[in-house]
Structure 1
């Protein structure tokens, strides 16, 4: 289960690169909508009530889709853990999915009913559980949440504890195994004194997880999981009368638990500056500056958030402009503040450009921070941050459930401030922030002694791994779950999915324009999609397409890179680029009130890049640093190797999936190469435009004609991707990339199928869900839940326009690398042979796929993405609305037939990234050929 941060202020930092405010020099034509007008659009009406047992309930009605976000918050997190029990709150969160006295398995009924997602998370201050269910499944979700709140302990066993302990320890290994993955531990241990409630990570220590006992589990539940320590938030297709009836029915009989004592958490100050150096297997030296600051309810909290966004959160931030754009001594910078209930953590980073002296960057970082704290931000910078936050909040109004939806927003306001409407106060505080206020807050809290950390390339210290072995076997029969005494509520049918109709027209120059109108929020999203993608990259210039895309926002013939960034911030707009194997897209998120000036900028970025030589050099250096970073990451190394291995280097799909290319090819790219690629591939003849949001065809067609309809067609011969290149024969076996000091191995298996995206893949995708593409899938249940060797395993078809690969991905603990491959091979063979689709699996997946359709298309972005997929795979735009009928016509035999026709485990090539000294003997014991690949150039022949 993931560990997301709290919402409102961190969301500021995530979305701050989106927007800003008017400046005096702007013309009336491009002036954004006034900030107060935008703030008024952020509104989540709600009602509350409290049950006699103390459970507080929040209800927000939103009838746009037949779904309800169900969110339960418990006021307990890692700060409540006693000494020697670190990681226990998170471990218990995992156990809450193992079943209760009347619900043998928590996931299966909800998945069958169409829940998206079903998940939980733990952080310092709270633990939360989320489901977004069809309206007809609300009773089921509430019954299940109530059953584990009031009737859990009879179903908790030693076997479940051992299994989930192993999963959590693999979750910890997976995070620790990443470059810079050990920094958080040093951050907390240095900034906070021993015994401070926030001084240990929520994931905990291996030793404490080893020591967790069954009695610990039961005491944690009795102490913390009473209704009087919980909040239930319901958002979506439900009203307060219905919510009250259901809350009283399912939760009313649960007795209140003991009152949870408040935790005392002072904000500590270091006695003097602390300088430390860590070694890690990283490609780039990273320099950190860190402080402990007040929690989210302090008046300084929103001001510090604004201040850090100006420093290193905005695209046009002080650090970006100085260190990355102008001086070009860093390849990446950040500044952020994590806001918890009683503590904040300010963190500033700079990744040193290769070849630059880290001492120079460290000195400049301190100088810029000191000057900024002294002089503060400008009014324009502060307003740009505020506009970005408002824009992010408006976009978020589409989502009712999940970790960041409206239910979570209301619940966190009540939890931390006693007011579900706290989000409005937080937003008002940011919108009314002044340069003087921001400066005063920074001078108060950031003039104190700093923790200065440097992480340099080198060998890590020894890793403290677990001493308790993973279960590695079947669930013990002696610990059978209790027999339920209450039946699960029936799930009522919900309306089918109803996507907006797609209108299609043609611009004056022949570009197709598709529109799906959706008026739930006043925003518009646009994607100009080009028939290019990674498959169009030149083999002697791999990384050319990525570099070209990065340069689109690095200056046009009329705007500088800083002007482009600032203009987006002022408009509340976000221009982004992306590539799949088959398509290249440039996308725009815009507030409807600022649509026209946003389109002015969008057109300029797409059509008129200047390819300034100094910017080419700057972004080339950043791309080269990204390639070096990939070669330190387990997933990055495996992903760089797999597709050249499967397709061969001559095939259009035989390229690393990140698109960054190789060092030699990126260094060889010239300005003429970039201009030629743009002229060949980013042209009207290869373009198609998709629009979704609060706009009519009558409104958008003239705007798009004005910006893109007069774009002249390229008269040169249009380049094509040569899919006639033969795919080489399969290379079954193991391809090992040595990555010393890895507590986990990254396993990536694959082979090339004959499936194309335009094929009828509905039966296969249903079968694939049962085998590998779901939490309840066989591969994940075996390797994660039964054996405890991984945090998560997946097998899926990576759908492409031409021949698509089947991929298996599994990060597993190092000492089980070989056995995990053997087990996955066995699981796949059994599924394709004597143990095909069972009636229970078929029923769960087919019912779930049908029921979850409305929730899958809750947002404008999801509709826009589906439109693009339908066009790419030559499907009608009504494709999704036909799926329920098509799923209903399937049979288990059809699923078995589809899987057996497409999956051939004898063709699997297994790329394994791990510590050779620990895993080589395991791999050789499998009886397959083992070939070691050079981690610097993993392109096995």
Structure 2
């Protein structure tokens, strides 16, 4: 439910990049895109911002409360985030899960998040369900306290504590707690992390909760944004109806801006179970809304924000000291963060890397950026903005941008001020800003995380908060008469918008490539994906993925750095990736730069350089990334599970990214042979979605690809053998010393995506674990609060699909949680607890009513068409699938649910073996084998 970010990463998703990319003017090679809005304020102080966008029959509802972890008193850290969770547990007039009515109407992008400065709640709903959404949001704003009891508090406290464990269980997961204390002095609101301490969470009382609500959650401390299929007059009527009678709360003062800039450089170190040393260098810089923050965003992009940035050129390409390096700015209300991160190559002296970073930074501050660097950085940022504003809601969508500006600056259009700063920025201005915040006398902190034993961080003891009494409500605000009978419950719609999917057009190029086009004219962007059959299953382990990653490392007349410069200058995004059954080459191009972007795209596909030096550089990065995967519980599971379930030798058994040994062995000739055979245009499809027409795009495609031929005889697609389920359950354990969670996965195989019953299997999965409200999550998270979330799902595949049920759980509940998962799956598959008519109907509504909002973006349309191409589905498949779901019966669902027979499950448990092995063996589910990170049995000494 909640997205946790520490203070230092508070606005990673919607912070400085969005704030620094407001759009009223732009360079000539970037289209001008704005977010027009209107606003009004209710008598009770609720501020409302409205943006009209009629492209889809949905409305984004996004409400921000101006309260975050910065407002927590000593002894109550984590309280804002805990309260975010509590507000999803029902209100006085809508008891039960807050999600339930939203699932019934097909809401999408529903979530809540907390950071240092604010708490927000958001969802996209069909236009006909707007009244329901406003009723629900207003009920928890005005009628929450009676629904919060000790049981609810204890339940959500446990969920939050597991969320904290989940974060800490990741590689480098202790960093943000350490940096918060290093960057901010005692008493500063940003010193502690948003998620808080276990001690403080345990100390929170029911009266604390109620005092917090009365203090911060009044309408006069909130901003509501409605974006999409809505106009201001409709918004005025509906918002006044549902929110107007809610009394205002007190007007609480905001903490004073305190950047807490350092005057000297400091450093610290810690050890963690990580595969390589990582350097973090951090400065405190200008707060949100300051022009300097926008200029620093440009500076960060030039320094370390792209593949050809200064730090990449020096540390990755020239000196070969690191596997990756980045620089970024993260904006917040009281103080922002300028952050450089570098993953040091094994065997390289950390001091040498730090010295090189310092040299590049000082050179940039001394002379400022070159005009061409500034132009490229500006274009890249603004192109990202153009793509981002296609979405009305969700993380970083238009509703988020308007709400953020309103809460932090009081001006919903503050993004336009940021654009003006970006458009007018000069090399001299960036030089001056950089020196003001990063130059001499402006201290930073360097944290070095080295491989070693993870030592638990010692939490501060919980202290008793100072006495606090909620101030009186602000008398300036008044209420409107009550017009809603809340006892009648939320107003549920009886009609819903129809599913709309763009008409698909077809053509064929001279080279045999089929072209599929769907026009979308919402934003001036064109997206293309060249889909080639075969993928990783048709190549040596890791070869397809490794070779695909090299295609944009220089092509035609451009070496790797020049290629990256050209893409950035055009505002284009290019990437190639390999899945199990196909390889995809992607281009997102600004419409006005489509022709030169296509030329670059064609070179990438047809004339990759595959220079030996680039191969070796990327090989080192690739092997480092594999080691990082192995250190991450989820990454390790992705690598190991296919081999355990499909069996060694099966085309699907190998990790997509290969192994250290396989990647180390690839030669340039291997890559050239793969390119000549795998990228065969004769058996490929080019999917195009965006702001173009067949008449306009075909001549360009013919120009760049019409004469593309391959001399190879063709890419032989592998036969995908059918795998019989194991005779009995098998359990595999992987040791993760020091882990505070165990990640549990149960897996088995389902029929291919082309199977006639595929949609029935999808529905069967929804009931057991395909949604927040499904059985596994409601058991392990909401009932027992042993986990932050439990899910299940099946990947798409030409061969048998891999179905998994996954739950990260607190490590002292490993055995009990595993038993619960086994029981839930067994009861479902055996028919002891079959899918009920209510469950099937509810999941059917969820799967179908979300469809009108599911295709809001061109990327969603493109991915669906590409999937249809891969599995040989008709153009109208989305409509056929919808009809099949609507007609599905519980009997059909329960018939296919038998395929989840728990007697043939393969279990994989990643956690501290000293705490997981005994309880897992005690379950007697089947043969237990301890394996290492490569899947090999561990022989006990």
* TM-score, L = length of structure 2: 0.93
Q: 1:464 to 1:877 in 2, by over 3 A?
A: farther
Give the conservation status (yes or no) of the 8 Å contact 1:313–1:334.
yes
Question: Is 1:81 aligned to 2:86, yes or no?
Answer: no
In 1: Cα distance, 2:840 partner to 2:178 partner = 48
The DSSP-based 3-state class of the residue aligned with 1:825 is helix
In 1: Cα distance, 2:559 partner to 2:728 partner = 49
In 2: Cα distance, 1:529 partner to 1:664 partner = 28
Q: What is the CA-CA distance between 1:898 and the residue it aligns to?
A: 2.4
Q: Which residue of 2 aligns with 1:393?
A: 385
In 1: Cα distance, 2:4 partner to 2:723 partner = 44
1:779-811 Cα shifts (integer Å, max 9, x gaps): 011011111111111111222111111111111
Question: Is 1:6 aligned to 2:5, yes or no?
Answer: no
| 1:58 equivalent among 49, 54, 69 | 49
In 1: Cα distance, 2:653 partner to 2:565 partner = 38
Summarize the alignment of residues 195-214 of structure 1 with structure 2, pairs less than 5 Å apart.
195-214=187-206
Q: Which residue of 1 aligns with 2:633?
A: 634
Q: What is the CA-CA distance between 1:729 and the residue it aligns to?
A: 3.6
Summarize the alignment of residues 9-158 of structure 1 with structure 2, pairs less than 5 Å apart.
10=15, 12=17, 35-37=26-28, 41-104=32-95, 105-158=97-150
In 2: Cα distance, 1:923 partner to 1:556 partner = 52
| 1:843 equivalent among 832, 841, 844 | 841
Q: Which residue of 2 aligns with 1:570?
A: 569
Q: 1:366 to 1:9 in 2, by over 3 A?
A: farther
Give the conservation status (yes or no) of the 8 Å contact 1:557–1:609.
yes
The DSSP-based 3-state class of the residue aligned with 2:788 is coil
The DSSP-based 3-state class of the residue aligned with 2:257 is coil
The DSSP-based 3-state class of the residue aligned with 1:129 is strand
Give the conservation status (yes or no) of the 8 Å contact 2:29–2:570.
no
In 2: Cα distance, 1:562 partner to 1:173 partner = 40
In 1: Cα distance, 2:156 partner to 2:13 partner = 31
In 1: Cα distance, 2:183 partner to 2:707 partner = 58
Q: Which residue of 1 aligns with 2:482?
A: none
Q: Which residue of 2 aligns with 1:893?
A: 891
Q: Which residue of 2 aligns with 1:323?
A: 315
1:761-787 Cα shifts (integer Å, max 9, x gaps): 222212211210100010011011111
Question: Is 1:380 aligned to 2:372, yes or no?
Answer: yes
Q: 1:725 to 1:130 in 2, by over 3 A?
A: closer
In 1: Cα distance, 2:708 partner to 2:157 partner = 59
Q: 1:141 to 1:200 in 2, by over 3 A?
A: same
Question: Is 1:456 aligned to 2:447, yes or no?
Answer: no
| 2:658 equivalent among 639, 657, 661 | 661
Structure 1: unaligned runs, 5 residues or longer:
17-33, 469-482
The DSSP-based 3-state class of the residue aligned with 1:384 is helix
Give the conservation status (yes or no) of the 8 Å contact 1:647–1:728.
no
| 2:851 equivalent among 853, 876, 884 | 853
Q: Which residue of 2 aligns with 1:475?
A: none
Q: Which residue of 2 aligns with 1:682?
A: 679
Give the conservation status (yes or no) of the 8 Å contact 2:257–2:333.
no
| 1:871 equivalent among 865, 869, 872 | 869
Q: Which residue of 2 aligns with 1:596?
A: 595
Q: Which residue of 1 aligns with 2:480?
A: none
In 2: Cα distance, 1:310 partner to 1:439 partner = 12
In 2: Cα distance, 1:324 partner to 1:87 partner = 39
In 1: Cα distance, 2:20 partner to 2:801 partner = 34
Q: 1:436 to 1:402 in 2, by over 3 A?
A: same
Q: Which residue of 1 aligns with 2:481?
A: none
| 1:517 equivalent among 519, 532, 536 | 519
1:234-253 Cα shifts (integer Å, max 9, x gaps): 00111111111100100000
In 2: Cα distance, 1:271 partner to 1:299 partner = 22
Q: Which residue of 2 aligns with 1:473?
A: none
Structure 2: unaligned runs, 5 residues or longer:
463-484
Q: Which residue of 1 aligns with 2:478?
A: none
Give the conservation status (yes or no) of the 8 Å contact 2:526–2:588.
yes
Q: Which residue of 1 aligns with 2:689?
A: 692
- Higher mean C-alpha deviation, range 5-14 or range 500-509: 5-14
Summarize the alignment of residues 342-357 of structure 1 with structure 2, pairs less than 5 Å apart.
342-357=334-349
In 2: Cα distance, 1:171 partner to 1:577 partner = 33
| 1:418 equivalent among 392, 407, 410 | 410
Give the conservation status (yes or no) of the 8 Å contact 2:52–2:230.
yes
In 1: Cα distance, 2:274 partner to 2:18 partner = 25
Summarize the alignment of residues 180-219 of structure 1 with structure 2, pairs less than 5 Å apart.
180-219=172-211
Q: 1:493 to 1:38 in 2, by over 3 A?
A: farther
* TM-score, L = length of structure 1: 0.93
1:317-359 Cα shifts (integer Å, max 9, x gaps): 1111110012111100011111011210111011111122222
Q: 1:8 to 1:120 in 2, by over 3 A?
A: closer
Q: What is the CA-CA distance between 1:744 and the residue it aligns to?
A: 0.5
In 1: Cα distance, 2:691 partner to 2:728 partner = 50
Q: Which residue of 2 aligns with 1:430?
A: 422
Question: Is 1:485 aligned to 2:464, yes or no?
Answer: no
Q: 1:465 to 1:815 in 2, by over 3 A?
A: farther
Q: Which residue of 2 aligns with 1:476?
A: none
The DSSP-based 3-state class of the residue aligned with 2:923 is coil
Q: What is the CA-CA distance between 1:463 and the residue it aligns to?
A: 5.1
Q: Which residue of 2 aligns with 1:26?
A: none
Question: Is 1:554 aligned to 2:553, yes or no?
Answer: yes
Question: Is 1:821 aligned to 2:813, yes or no?
Answer: no
1:96-117 Cα shifts (integer Å, max 9, x gaps): 0000001113101001110002
Q: Which residue of 2 aligns with 1:223?
A: 215
Q: Which residue of 2 aligns with 1:439?
A: 431
- Higher mean C-alpha deviation, range 258-267 or range 612-621: 258-267
| 2:232 equivalent among 220, 235, 240 | 240
Q: Which residue of 1 aligns with 2:702?
A: 705
Q: What is the CA-CA distance between 1:465 and the residue it aligns to?
A: 8.7
Question: Is 1:938 aligned to 2:935, yes or no?
Answer: yes
Give the conservation status (yes or no) of the 8 Å contact 1:6–1:339.
yes
Give the conservation status (yes or no) of the 8 Å contact 2:15–2:332.
no
Q: 1:13 to 1:775 in 2, by over 3 A?
A: same
Q: What is the CA-CA distance between 1:297 and the residue it aligns to?
A: 1.8
Summarize the alignment of residues 297-308 of structure 1 with structure 2, pairs less than 5 Å apart.
297-308=289-300
In 2: Cα distance, 1:933 partner to 1:505 partner = 54
Q: 1:512 to 1:196 in 2, by over 3 A?
A: same
| 1:761 equivalent among 752, 758, 761 | 758
In 1: Cα distance, 2:186 partner to 2:134 partner = 40
Q: 1:677 to 1:509 in 2, by over 3 A?
A: same
Q: What is the CA-CA distance between 1:7 and the residue it aligns to?
A: 7.0
Q: What is the CA-CA distance between 1:732 and the residue it aligns to?
A: 1.8
Residue-pair matches, total: 904
In 2: Cα distance, 1:209 partner to 1:648 partner = 45
The DSSP-based 3-state class of the residue aligned with 1:133 is strand
Q: 1:115 to 1:574 in 2, by over 3 A?
A: same
In 2: Cα distance, 1:269 partner to 1:556 partner = 44
The DSSP-based 3-state class of the residue aligned with 1:631 is helix
Q: Which residue of 2 aligns with 1:176?
A: 168
Summarize the alignment of residues 251-400 of structure 1 with structure 2, pairs less than 5 Å apart.
251-400=243-392
Q: What is the CA-CA distance between 1:758 and the residue it aligns to?
A: 4.6
The DSSP-based 3-state class of the residue aligned with 1:552 is coil
In 2: Cα distance, 1:555 partner to 1:544 partner = 19
Structure 1 ranges of 4+ moved more than 6 A: 13-16, 465-468
Q: Which residue of 1 aligns with 2:505?
A: 503
Question: Is 1:721 aligned to 2:740, yes or no?
Answer: no
Q: What is the CA-CA distance between 1:401 and the residue it aligns to?
A: 1.4
Q: 1:14 to 1:782 in 2, by over 3 A?
A: farther
In 1: Cα distance, 2:413 partner to 2:511 partner = 49
In 2: Cα distance, 1:436 partner to 1:717 partner = 55
| 1:908 equivalent among 891, 905, 921 | 905
Q: What is the CA-CA distance between 1:717 and the residue it aligns to?
A: 4.7
Summarize the alignment of residues 767-846 of structure 1 with structure 2, pairs less than 5 Å apart.
767-832=764-829, 833-846=831-844
